[in-house]
Amino acid sequence: MKKGESNQDALRAVFRPRKPNQEDRRRYKSDRFIPCRTETDYDLAMARLSHDEPLYPAKPRRDAYTAALYHDLLGPAANMKLMRFCTDVAKRYLPWDGLWRWMGTPTKKPVASSVVSTAAYRVLDAPDVSCRGSMQLIDWGSTNKIAVALGTTVHALDVETDRVSSYLDKDDDNSDASHDVVTSVAWAPNGRQLAFGFAGGDVMIFDVEKATVVVQQILHHFVEIGCLAWKSNSVLSAGDTSGKIHNFDTRTCEVAHSLQPHSKPVVHLRWDTTGTTLASGGKDRKVVTSNLHSAEPLSTLDGHDAPVGGIAWSPHSPSVLATSSGRCLRFWNTHTGSLIRSHEAAAKVSCLEWSRHEQDVLGCLGEGLNEIAVWRYPSMGQNAVMRGHERRLLGVAVGPDGRCLCSLSADETLRLWRCFGRAPEARSAFLSSLR
């Protein structure tokens, strides 16, 4: 700092933009056939000329990532010419100039990165499956077991060992077929307890490891338990055909909380990913959110023009709820109760599921199509359509890995699909390309 100069003046001198001098304004020219050595980066030119061919097929996502690295690391030099025959007029370059130019560059339309197999990799028989009403007849537990309700019996298939276990196998001569039909099944988060709902209004919780009944509760006679949802390993919610929702505490074997948010049967129940909000869909064309601390619903999502066919919470945005009624898919912000967007499908949509790894949502198409469609949210472009069932789909369940799907149809078949997430070999190849 010079004598008589203040600290502020010294700082201004340090951070003041440098003005180009006469030396910077000069424009040196070389022979038109001989490049200017002082302006040519031979290391960069050699690297660009000797760049190997990619080991993996080009993908927009990987190309975009590579281009971003070039711009961040090299700045404007990433697109410079290999041979420079004259100097450019001096221009002040800021570190973030390349970032703004990269952000403003139009890119290609993004494509889905998930790998969807449109053919089932396994087909199993499901005889005597019930086709009446809206029932939750299938669920896939955290221990990789698929529970399927077939009449008065529930079968559990261990996907890893192919071992099949049967529960509630009753003698037809000593039981009322209409009362003992299993209308809903649901695995607890720990995979040790399996809940059953019956056509006669009973709810049973079975410990599959001890092979004992933990809870057996009779709610009402002549009502059907059409849907079940676990909040935690100790709290189970059940919806019946009278429009009521009952919340069980498995530790006390009692109903801890009840409410009636619907005037017609409750056909879908889902707890959000945090376990604080319960969404219910009914045949009264309403979707209602509630919790265990209030006897009144938190909000009501109106506007459905048909009975609710499916509901699913987004695992990526806890407040986003997907619903379907008729051919229309709707996405809601449950905090504000506002509609985010809607999408018209080719047929009636039911049985919604979200992907845990990608922004994909899945739904079953009816009206003779008998297909499973996967859409990319929020653009709602259709990624894939999985065909194979000959009659309408009754339910679907996502595996514990978040990639595989099991579907149950009225054609008495159970099909397993790989519909969500990137295949392991593709994922490892993508990671290897970044090293």
**Residues 319-370 pLDDT 10s:** 999 999 999 999 999 999 999 999 999 999 999 999 999 999 999 999 899 9
What sign has the CA pseudo-torsion 58, 63, 69, 72?
A: positive
Task: Kindly state the average pLDDT of the residues 17-25.
Answer: 47
- Work out the pLDDT band at 252, boundaries 50, 70, 90: confident
Share of the chain above pLDDT 90, in %: 57
> How far from the centroid of its chain's Cα atoms is residue 351's Cα?
14
Alpha-carbon span 356 to 1, nearest angstrom: 60
Task: Report which secondary-structure segment, H or E, holds 71.
Answer: helix 60-74
Q: Which of 184, 114, 109, 202 is nearest to 194 (CA)?
A: 184
- Residue 423 has a pLDDT of 45
Neighbours of 106 (CB within 10 A): 5
Domain range annotation of the chain: 26-103, 133-260
- Work out the pLDDT band at 271, boundaries 50, 70, 90: very high
Residue of 306 and 58 predicted with greater confidence: 306
Residue of 29 and 153 predicted with greater confidence: 153
- Residue 195 has a pLDDT of 96
Question: Any idea what DSSP says for residue 173?
Answer: G
Q: Which of 172, 174, 194 is nearest to 185 (CA)?
A: 194
Alpha-carbon span 194 to 168, nearest angstrom: 12
Q: Which range, of 62-76, 243-257, 293-307, averages the lowest pLDDT? A: 62-76
Q: ∠ CA(193), CA(198), CA(202), 5° rounding?
A: 80
- Work out the pLDDT band at 175, boundaries 50, 70, 90: low
Judge whether 240 and 220 are in contact, CB under 8 Å: yes
Task: Report which secondary-structure segment, H or E, holds 238.
Answer: strand 235-240
Q: Which of 362, 381, 357 is nearest to 324 (CA)?
A: 362
Residue 28: pLDDT above 90?
no
Task: Report which secondary-structure segment, H or E, holds 15.
Answer: helix 7-15
Q: Which two tokens stand for residue 31?
A: 């022979």
Judge whether 196 and 154 are in contact, CB under 8 Å: yes
- Residue 48 has a pLDDT of 65
**Residues 186-218 pLDDT 10s:** 999 999 999 999 999 999 999 999 888 888 887
Phi-psi region of 303 (alpha: psi -120 to 50; beta: other; left: phi over 0): left
Share of the chain above pLDDT 70, in %: 68
Neighbours of 60 (CB within 10 A): 13
Q: Which range, of 206-220, 224-238, 303-317, averages the lowest pLDDT? A: 206-220
Most confident of 112-126, 148-162, 414-428: 148-162
Alpha-carbon span 219 to 205, nearest angstrom: 14
Alpha-carbon span 324 to 405, nearest angstrom: 19
Q: Which range, of 112-121, 140-149, 175-184, 337-346, averages the lowest pLDDT? A: 112-121
Q: Which two tokens stand for residue 342?
A: 């809607």
Neighbours of 201 (CB within 10 A): 21
- Residue 340 has a pLDDT of 96
**Residue position matching structure tokens 């970032």:** 99
> How far from the centroid of its chain's Cα atoms is residue 261's Cα?
27
Mean model confidence pLDDT for the chain: 81
Alpha-carbon span 76 to 95, nearest angstrom: 10
- Residue 220 has a pLDDT of 67
CA count, 13 A, side-chain hemisphere, 192: 9
Residue of 255 and 101 predicted with greater confidence: 255
Task: Kindly state the average pLDDT of the residues 297-317.
Answer: 95
Q: Which range, of 94-108, 199-213, 232-246, 300-314, averages the lowest pLDDT? A: 94-108
Provide the 3-class DSSP secondary structure of residue 387. Answer: coil
**Residues 407-427 pLDDT 10s:** 999 999 999 999 886 544 444
Task: Kindly state the average pLDDT of the residues 265-271.
Answer: 97
- Residue 420 has a pLDDT of 84
- Residue 16 has a pLDDT of 46
- Residue 344 has a pLDDT of 97
Question: Any idea what DSSP says for residue 388?
Answer: -
- Residue 425 has a pLDDT of 47
Residue 347 buriedness (CB in 10 A; 0-12 / 13-18 / 19+): middle
Residue 284: pLDDT above 60?
yes
Phi-psi region of 211 (alpha: psi -120 to 50; beta: other; left: phi over 0): left
Report the residue count for the chain.
435
Architecture of domain 133-260: 7 Propeller (2.130)
Residue of 400 and 133 predicted with greater confidence: 400
Judge whether 152 and 162 are in contact, CB under 8 Å: no
**Residues 32-87 pLDDT 10s:** 566 666 666 667 677 666 655 554 555 555 566 666 665 556 555 555 565 655 65
DSSP characters over 245-290 = EEEEETTTTEEEEEE---SS-EEEEEE-TTSS-EEEEETTS-EEEE
Distances (CA, A) of 37 to 84, 91, 373, 423: 8, 20, 59, 49
